[in-house]
Amino acid sequence: MKELIKTIMIILLVIVSGYLVYEMNNMERTLADLDVQDSIRVVTVEQFDHGLNDLELQFIGRGKHIQQFQIDLQQMNNKLDETTKNFDMKLDSISVAINELRSTTESQLANLKTDQESIGDRITKLQRNTNQSVMDLQTALTKLNRDFSDMEKRVKTLETPPTDATKKK
């Protein structure tokens, strides 16, 4: 019975650890995707900066074009800031999810351990009670055997008439 419980516990631990590895791999893929998207945005911003520089050199003195590109640059910076905030929020939510998963797993493992100890205590108590019952039954069987042999002796005594008494008369 203990082996079964141990086996079940080991299987549960393997399943939980497999699930954790699966979740961590998913999170790593998500983070990699976010990194790729961030690098694409950085390249886009750099390309925009190069284009702006080229246009500034080409259109020196043309403030209208420069102002338009400055507005676009500001919009791109705002978009980059917004993307960075979203990325940070996603990282925070992933961190919270990991912490919740860790906490839940630790609490479940603690509950399993207490349940295992409780079951072990109950099994030990049951073994003691069973052993005591078996000993009581053995004692009662021994007593019944003695009583039975005593009864057989009495019955034999009653069945056989005394031979000495008939000869003396």
Confidence category of residue 116, pLDDT binned at 50, 70, 90: very high
Indicate yes or no: pTM above 0.85.
no
Residues 62-71, mean pLDDT to the nearest whole number: 76
For residue 98, which of 30, 12, 10 has the smallest C-alpha distance?
30
Higher-scoring residue by pLDDT: 7, 62: 7
For residue 48, which of 65, 67, 33, 70 has the smallest C-alpha distance?
70
59, 65 in Cβ contact below 8 A? yes
Q: Which of 8-22, 32-46, 70-84, 98-112 has the lowest mean pLDDT?
A: 32-46
Taking all residues of the chain, what is their mean pLDDT, rounded to a whole number?
A: 87
- Euclidean distance between CA atoms 62 and 56, whole angstroms: 8
- Euclidean distance between CA atoms 75 and 95, whole angstroms: 30
Residues 77-91, mean pLDDT to the nearest whole number: 93
Q: What is the pLDDT of residue 163?
A: 67
Name the percent of the chain lying above pLDDT 90: 64
- Euclidean distance between CA atoms 135 and 69, whole angstroms: 97
CA 14, chain centre distance (Å): 9
- Euclidean distance between CA atoms 114 and 108, whole angstroms: 10
